[in-house]
Homo-oligomer: A and B are copies of this chain.
Amino acid sequence: MTRTDTRSPAARDTTTREICAQIDRLVDARSARVAAHGPHFAELWELAVRRLQGGKLLRPRLVMGAFDTLASGTTAAPRAAALEIAAALEILHFSFLLHDDVIDEDLVRRGEPNLVGCLVAGKMPGNTIAAPPADGSGDTTNRTLHWARSSGLLVGDLMLTIAHQIIARLHLPEHARTRVLDLLEAAVTETVAGEYCDVGLADGAFVPDLSLVLDMTRMKTASYTFELPLRIAAVISEAPPAAEIQLGEVGRHLGLAFQLQDDLLSAFSPSDSHGKDQFSDFREGKETALIAYARMTNAWPSVEQLLGAEGFSDDSGRRIQRLLTECGAREFIETLVQDQIRTALQVLTRDDCAVPQATSRFILGLVDSLDGRRA
């Protein structure tokens, strides 16, 4: 099946095209089975698949870039398996995004309606879903929202299942397949723990402090976004164990830097640059590291009054921006981002570094190209 490619032309290098083709193959192999469960479900699937294909492919590109540089020169390296893993990690990421949007009650992602938003707006192909009434009247709108969010949850379950199914079927030697499964399970467990901490902080179930918030930030993103792709690439390219461990370290530091940078962008950039509602983190009262730092300063009483408050306005958002800048939270987090990147570089330039220079160069190039936007 040919689909409109919504990615920017610049990003479509050879590897990216291979990743996209692999995702398409894995999705298409499942479309007939999905369609067998009736037209409603087939439409939901098509809508979801279009959203799956809108990402920047950060995790798959990390897998392939690391794999190609690590396996360079070896003959029997299982590149087909690497591509399948790369696709599986994008599908895993998509399932996390879907559940994240359900939890956050978001209707927008990457600057356009997310799956829930599309369903609510009645944008289903074939137009079989009744749109909520234009006057936004209560009960029907609530039921439509409930149905759309439940659908997001269910599609997320299906995508999580497919990601695992792909990994479970890899044609790899038994020891490598088991190691990949270990890494996948550890990463999902850590991500779930981080999300649980995130929602507990946002809803006031846990007492916030900077150390807990930084742990949460690391857990919910760093592990599956950077550490998992880099370590899997090391395992299947049969890199030395030291290289896998060092790539894991690098991944954790870069992953934390990436998520903190994302928090900075959410807080300080206009909406169209990071693809979410402007001020959505402030509106939802998200406990980011910026906020956790501000708690320890004199600015806190003023921030607290505005954050997640009833009647939150763009003006509230701009006032929080000013307060976070004046109290030093912004600078503190910016410095932390730089520290994490520097530490990652130190690992890659140590005397005992087992990571090949080509792999280090690839990682550094990718870091330079990342602007921390939600990918």
B contact residues around A197 at 8 Å (CB): 38, 40-41
Distance to closest chain B CB from A311 (angstroms) = 13
Task: Show 17 A/B contacts (Cβ-Cβ < 8 Å), sorted by A.
Answer: A37-B219, A38-B197, A103-B153, A130-B204, A130-B205, A146-B199, A147-B202, A150-B195, A150-B196, A150-B199, A157-B157, A160-B160, A161-B185, A164-B168, A165-B181, A165-B185, A169-B181
Tell me the residues in window 149-205 of chain A with beta carbons closer than 8 Å to chain B beta carbons: 150-151, 153-158, 160-162, 164-165, 167-169, 178, 181, 184-186, 188-190, 192-197, 199-200, 202-205
Q: Interface range on chain A: under 10, 10 to 19, 20 to 34, or 35 or more? A: 35 or more
Q: Is A261 an interface residue, CB under 8 A from the partner?
A: no
| Chain B residues within 8 Å of A128, by CB | 206
Cβ of A266 < 8 Å from any Cβ of B? no
Q: Are B158 and A157 in contact (CB under 8 A)?
A: no
A334 close to B (CB within 8 Å): no
Q: State A151–B130 Cα separation when bound (angstroms).
A: 31
A215's nearest neighbour on chain B, judged by CB, is B38
Q: How far is the CA of A167 from the CA of B165 in the complex (A)?
A: 10
Give the docked Cα–Cα distance between A153 and B150 (Å).
Answer: 11
Q: Closest Cβ of chain B: how far from A363's Cβ, in Å?
A: 26
With a cutoff of 8 Å between Cβ atoms, the chain B residues found around residue A156 in the complex are 157
Interface residue A129 (Cβ < 8 Å from any Cβ of B): yes
Q: Is A99 an interface residue (CB 8 A)?
A: yes
Main secondary structure on A side of the interface with B: helix
A302 to chain B, nearest CB (A): 20
Q: Does A299 make an interface contact (CB < 8 A)?
A: no
Q: Which residue of B lies closest to A196 (CB)?
A: B154
Least CB distance from A194 to B in Å reads: 8
Say yes or no: A196 contacts B151, CB within 8 Å. yes
> CA A38 – CA B212 in complex, angstroms?
9
CB-based nearest B residue for A164: B164
Contacts A33-B186, A103-B150, A192-B157: A40 and B200 contacting too (C-beta < 8 A)? yes
- B40 A206 Cβ-Cβ under 8 A: yes
Closest B residue to A102 by beta carbon equals: B153
In the complex formed, the residue of B with least CB distance to A105 is: B146
> Which B residues touch A150, using CB under 8 A?
103, 195-196, 199, 203
Among B37, B143, B144, B204, contact of A189 (Cβ-Cβ < 8 Å): B37
> Please, which residues of chain B bring their CB within 8 A of the CB of A162?
185
A34 on the B face (CB < 8 A): yes
A140 at the interface (CB under 8 A from B): yes
Bitwise, A44-61 to B at CB < 8 A (1) or not (0) is: 100000000000000000
Partner of A161, one of B99, B164, B200: B164
Tell which of B99, B130, B144, B146 touches A157, judged by Cβ atoms closer than 8 Å. B99
CA gap between A192 and B150 in the complex, in Å: 11
Known pairs A143-B204, A161-B189 / 4 extra A-B pairs, C-beta < 8 Å: A38-B212, A103-B150, A157-B192, A169-B178
Closest-CB distance, A116 to chain B (whole angstroms):
13
